[in-house]
Amino acid sequence: MEITKSCSNCGGVIFNLNQKPGEYEAVCSECGTIVANIKLEKYETVKKYCSNCNSARFKARVKRYKDTENWTVECAECKTQPEFKYVDSELNEIDEKTRENLILKDTITELNLRISELESELERLAYRVSAKDETFDILS
């Protein structure tokens, strides 16, 4: 079932889009309430102005699937969906290759962090094993 999304605060159905890396916010144009954070792919966002008519006013339709909502946003004036673009963490527009490099860099950073955590865990386990060995030697 698809419904037109409205603001829970004032009932407005026109939204402005606030860009964020990997997501965007739908903000009620009447009262300023953030109605939703819509998740996107990493380092992706939507353009906040319609590429067809340059309007900043959008309507949202929502399809519900069990526990999730699928948002579709379109220009309130010309019904064009906003364009997606790639951005870095400061919202500077980037190309696809730069985006891929940022994702790869993030993955390497996450892997290095996980390796450090595993090394610490191994050191802690090795210490516990050596302490038990010393206790066993004393009892023998």
Asked if 63 and 83 sit in the same domain, the reply is yes
Asked if 136 and 70 sit in the same domain, the reply is no
Asked if 60 and 26 sit in the same domain, the reply is yes
Reading the block at residue 70, the tokens are: 């699928």
Asked if 69 and 111 sit in the same domain, the reply is no
Q: Which domain holds residue 109?
A: 95-140
Asked if 127 and 138 sit in the same domain, the reply is yes
- Check residue 71 and give its pLDDT: 87
The dihedrals phi and psi of 53, each to the nearest 5 degrees, come to -120, 0
**CA distance to 47, 73, 75, 135, per residue, from 79 (Å):** 15, 9, 5, 75
Determine if the pTM surpasses 0.95.
no
Asked if 39 and 105 sit in the same domain, the reply is no
Asked if 85 and 105 sit in the same domain, the reply is no
Reading the block at residue 140, the tokens are: 């023998």
Query: Structurally, how many domains does the chain consist of?
Result: 2
Asked if 58 and 105 sit in the same domain, the reply is no
Asked if 89 and 112 sit in the same domain, the reply is no
- Check residue 129 and give its pLDDT: 83
**pLDDT, tens digit (0-9, with 9 covering 90-100), for 108-134:** 999 999 999 999 999 999 888 887 766
Asked if 85 and 37 sit in the same domain, the reply is yes
Q: Tell me which residue of 36, 39, 77 sits closest to 58, measured CA to CA.
A: 77
Q: Mean pLDDT, consecutive 10-residue segments, the chain of 140 residues?
A: 89 95 95 93 94 95 85 93 94 95 96 96 88 64
Asked if 45 and 88 sit in the same domain, the reply is yes
Asked if 7 and 64 sit in the same domain, the reply is yes
- Check residue 136 and give its pLDDT: 61
